[in-house]
Structure 1
Amino acid sequence: MSLYPLFADLRSRAVLVVGGGAVAERKIAALRAAGAVVTVGAPALTDALRDDVARGTLRHREGNFAADWLDGAWLVVAATGDRAVNRQVAAAAETRRVFANVVDDAELSSFHVPAIVDRSPLTVAISSGGAAPALASHVRARIEALLEPSLGPLADLARRWRTRLRTHLPEPAARRRFFERHVLGPVADLLRRGDAQAAEVEFARGLKSTSRTAQGSVALVGAGPGDPGLVTLNAQRALLTADVVLHDRLVPAEVLSLARRDAELVDVGKQVGGKASQAKHADQDDIHALMLEHARAGRRVVRLKCGDPFVFGRGGEELEFLAAHGIPFEVVPGVTAALACAAHAGVPLTHRDHAQSVRFVTAHCRDSVDTLDWRALAAERQTLAVYMGVAGLEALRARLLEHGRAPSTPFALVENGTRANQRVVIGTLANLVERAGAHAVRAPALLILGEVAALANRLHWFGTVPLGEPAREARAA
């Protein structure tokens, strides 16, 4: 984030605008609407600005810019159209530690004026950091269409009731739940119909009937394989309303950033196939205890899992625990790794010429790998998608070969699938272990084994070219 966004309270504060043309006129109008005490400095003014000066609603410093015009100013806007003068204003403002906006000149500006969606007292500001004002205007138009005019009166009603709401519901989670379920429901509906008086009555009635103790809940949410673009809308909604997020270690920061800014983020992950990270990780009983503790405290908990909660994510165990303790829950599915990694590696999991079925297997299960049906797994013309298998590749290869899978069976090992640093290592079952070792493949990685894996070399479209046989790699280099 190159700019730190903030909303400035300019009521009764001095602001200087240098320039007296049409652009300055527009800037002055916006500043005065925010309550600023504006002084305009310029040799000449537009007719409208001269009239404002004559009425005493605008101060005027006549002549060419001088540094002492900035004395006492909180902000300055340079709108002269003369870059030499604008540069002079920016330099003087920098010396005095006064924030300066130079119109249409991001390089000289220390603050930027965003595109605004006004639903006062609700305000949405959009900025491109001066890089593409037209894009910011386009985004503003899109948001303008989404935000109904009744949001302004709704925000004003919430402001008037703020003190009573905090007194009646001192717990932030309880206030948030009341707002989401009641204010954004029946109260907002009444305001959309233009009945402000009935909305006020409904707000009071709802608050009176709301318990001080909010009931907590848990949502098991699939974070997908890593690309934040694959996080579902329902998952985003859950993250935006969560008080606490208990997340796997491998959930990337870009996905965690979708949570509310004041949500508590707790890393409860375990690392598979490598050294543990520096953070203290929880075992499954610890995770159960954390879910129970936060939910009983009235918090909305998101248990954020890589991929999908019900595909090797122990989601079933966690739901059984929650049901046994009477905790309300919901499940938000996610894009599981087999689907996403295969797609980003250019490998169709099924193909009428190569594979009529696909099996999802974990090589890191509770019981020994010898409990798996290796005869069935070794059958031809099917695809195996092996989760969490990096540490067990040697045992997996041995069992498959022992039960009849051909040594020439192609594989694609997808590391960090869907992410910017995705790598795909390809080869055959015979050299699976050696190829993975030669390229130091680490978790998270998904193994795709079967005839379809041979298509990775021809159909790859995302990330770097698959790493094939050593001779081929040498020729490519």
Structure 2
Amino acid sequence: MEFLPLFFDLKNSNVLIVGGGEVAKRKASLLVKSGAVVHLISPEIKADLVELIVSNKGVITKDVFSEEFVKNKRLIIAATNDQAINKHIADLANQLNTPVNVVDQPELCSFIFPAIVDRSPIIAAVSSGGSSPVLARLLRAKIETVLPSTYGRLAQLAEKYRDKVKLAFSDVNKRRGFWEKILSGPVSEMVFAGKEKEAEQLLKETLDSKESPKRELGEVYLVGAGPGDPDLLTFKALRLMQQADVVLYDRLVSQPIIDLCRRDADFVNVGKARANHLVPQDDINQLLVDYAKKGHRVLRLKGGDPFIFGRGGEEIEKLAENGVPFQVVPGITAAAGCSSYAGIPLTHRDYAQSVRFVTGHLKDDTSDLPWSELAYLNQTIVFYMGLMGLPVICKKLIENGMPKETPIALVQQGTTPNQKVIIATLDTMVETLKTQEVSAPTLIIVGEVVSLHDKLKWFSPIKDLNIA
């Protein structure tokens, strides 16, 4: 082990930074967060660095370095672009037995800055000992994905009851067991869900009874899985996916995303296709209630966003009626994901002042839409679930005044390796599809912004088809 990881308490401590550039600013930002009083010296100092130091009660000296500045400092950081000065600072610090860090010269350092994941008061730090700072940052990014920001609030709650738990459990092993059950059970889940008052009440009750907190009623996580690319999942979605006991998923959820769920969970396919509902919606709603009432943590995984043509509202209505707790995690809706991956900015200001999301068929399978409003110029229209109704869509838009030369795009399986984009016009798209194989899920985008596809496309695993 090249360096022993330690955590310094620097509150109200004087620390020295020599240097006035961007690197010095990064170090100063960390130090002021820790409550240190930063003394910074350099002939030239960035204006925003001066602001940072002064606003946090630090001291600025615009001058060349001299030995007097190293005295009475808890830490010293050399961040100049002159290696000779940096070495001189390190030598002086070592003579005074003061910890010193020399930026990009680990051989001169008595301590180094790790890559930090800040969930105060929980802090995780990763270091390569100076051998590969980039690798340390990449590892930090991985840790970021599994440490929700709410861990800090969970730690604060634990700190609040630490002394009371000590009094209640004199035996160290029993005390440790109590905290393990609290921090990995319903109390922690309530904190993560933002129900901190309920979490504290349950902790109190559990402490009074000296028993493990019980989950008499489960919870449902309504999670948007996005349009297909697993990298588009939110941190919160991933965390809930990995702790659910039961997973109900739609056919629009890609297999790579399903594979990220907890491996030993029970998986239930409730996928729906047009005119072929594997499990009717009312039955899905009831399944969520039934599983939760058995005490399960239930993941309802839906393609895109649950509240944009995803029937998420119907599902949580049923949960609310039955007193079942739930959380909703937004996902990237297909319109945003597919248009971005197709290089079609929905609201480019030179082409569109508004965008409308429209379902291709309503609950009773009709397409009774306000066509005159949709045919409005300088507007982008995105049709969900409109592939079967495409001939009607094109015909009605032209009949209501939209120029037949208006570009239209079909994006099949957007954001995935199987993405396919077909570009034509309102007048030619139906004929074009007679020679193309297209299947759901497919998103339809209508408007002048579609003309930017050729110029802005950046993701094209399958050759796009452009047909005038």
- TM, length-normalised to structure 1: 0.57
Q: How far is 1:208 from its partner?
A: 2.7
Decide whether the 8 Å contact of 1:338 with 1:385 is kept in 2: yes
The residue identity in structure 1 corresponding to 2:185 is: R
Q: Does 1:355 align with 2:355?
A: no
Tell me the SS of whatever aligns to 2:358. Answer: strand
Counterparts of residues 318-397 of structure 1 (less than 5 Å): 318-367=315-364, 369-397=366-394
Q: Which residue pairs with 2:250 in the alignment? A: 248
- Highest Rg: 1 or 2? 1
Paired with 1:270 and 1:182, the residues of 2 have a C-alpha distance of 32
Decide whether the 8 Å contact of 1:410 with 1:427 is kept in 2: yes
Q: Which residue pairs with 1:466 in the alignment? A: 464
Tell me the SS of whatever aligns to 1:430. Answer: coil
Q: Does 1:177 align with 2:174?
A: no
The residue identity in structure 2 corresponding to 1:323 is: A
Decide whether the 8 Å contact of 1:456 with 1:466 is kept in 2: no
Decide whether the 8 Å contact of 1:460 with 1:466 is kept in 2: no
Q: Which residue pairs with 1:215 in the alignment? A: 217
Tell me the SS of whatever aligns to 1:282. Answer: coil
Q: Does 1:231 align with 2:233?
A: yes
Q: How far is 1:355 from its partner?
A: 1.0
Counterparts of residues 157-306 of structure 1 (less than 5 Å): 177-178=185-186, 180-181=188-189, 205=207, 208-272=210-274, 281-306=278-303
Corresponding residue pairs, total: 307
Q: How far is 1:354 from its partner?
A: 1.2
Decide whether the 8 Å contact of 1:247 with 1:305 is kept in 2: yes
Decide whether the 8 Å contact of 2:360 with 2:367 is kept in 1: no
Q: Percent identity?
A: 45
Paired with 1:251 and 1:282, the residues of 2 have a C-alpha distance of 16
The residue identity in structure 1 corresponding to 2:342 is: A
Decide whether the 8 Å contact of 1:218 with 1:301 is kept in 2: yes
Tell me the SS of whatever aligns to 1:414. Answer: strand
The residue identity in structure 2 corresponding to 1:218 is: V
**Structure 1 unmatched ranges of 5 or more:** 1-25, 27-133, 152-156, 185-200, 471-477
The residue identity in structure 1 corresponding to 2:250 is: D
- TM, length-normalised to structure 2: 0.58
Tell me the SS of whatever aligns to 2:418. Answer: coil
Change beyond 3 A, Cα 1:207–1:396: farther
Q: Which residue pairs with 1:314 in the alignment? A: 311
Tell me the SS of whatever aligns to 2:268. Answer: strand
Paired with 1:345 and 1:175, the residues of 2 have a C-alpha distance of 43
Q: How far is 1:403 from its partner?
A: 1.3
Q: Does 1:401 align with 2:404?
A: no
Decide whether the 8 Å contact of 1:308 with 1:334 is kept in 2: yes
Decide whether the 8 Å contact of 1:183 with 1:203 is kept in 2: no
For residues 401-441 of structure 1, the C-alpha deviation after alignment (integer angstroms, 9 at most, x for no partner) is 22121111101110010001111000000112122332111
Tell me the SS of whatever aligns to 1:295. Answer: helix
The residue identity in structure 2 corresponding to 1:268 is: V
> What's the RMSD between the two structures over aligned residues?
3.9
Decide whether the 8 Å contact of 1:358 with 1:385 is kept in 2: yes
Tell me the SS of whatever aligns to 1:391. Answer: coil
Tell me the SS of whatever aligns to 2:409. Answer: strand
Paired with 1:355 and 1:318, the residues of 2 have a C-alpha distance of 34
Equivalent of residue 422 in structure 2, options 417, 421, 425: 425
Paired with 1:265 and 1:176, the residues of 2 have a C-alpha distance of 23
Change beyond 3 A, Cα 1:374–1:203: closer
